[in-house]
Structure 1
């Protein structure tokens, strides 16, 4: 835990607010992330197949050839099948 006071602790999380927590992602076809991610960071270019939070029926979608950088999509799962990108990090409030 940081020793500095958190100047933003009293503010409600917003989609455009910085993430407060991050975890490395191991793509998995059957297991959801431990919490819904507010965004993903892609460290190695490639395809990223995710199940968006509000996806009808839990349908996955593939972002083809996503470059290194942030994906501003809330997702419940990062699929192993169809994901070729690497060094993925999920960002949370």
Structure 2
């Protein structure tokens, strides 16, 4: 890959170049689809995927980075906090 493109387009397995705080919501999608979610304070994480399916990841430890392109972090079922979207 040409070095200029390597700077502009991170690889799919990279951790990302930007981040933003996530406010869980049952009605609002994330403004961007993240590469991963970072959990600052542990707990359960209810994630909605592109197909509209919600699954709860139980007992996510503080400091965990989950590689998942969530469409929405649901308020119902999420007990974790200090969540960051990374893209």
Structure 2: 5+ residue stretches without partners: none
Stretches (4+) displaced over 3 A: none
Deviations 1:51-73 (A, max 9, x none): 123xx3x0111000011210111
Residue by residue over 1:23-43, the C-alpha shift from the partner in whole angstroms, topping out at 9 and shown as x without a partner, is 000000010000111100000
- TM-score computed with the length of structure 2 as normaliser: 0.86
Is the aligned partner of 1:26 residue 2:23? yes
CA RMSD of aligned residues (A): 1.5
The alignment status of 1:81 with 2:76, answered yes or no, reads: yes
1:37 equivalent in structure 2: 34
Unaligned runs of 5+ in 1: 1-7
Count the aligned residue pairs.
82
Partner of 2:54: 60
Give the secondary structure class of the aligned counterpart of 2:71: strand
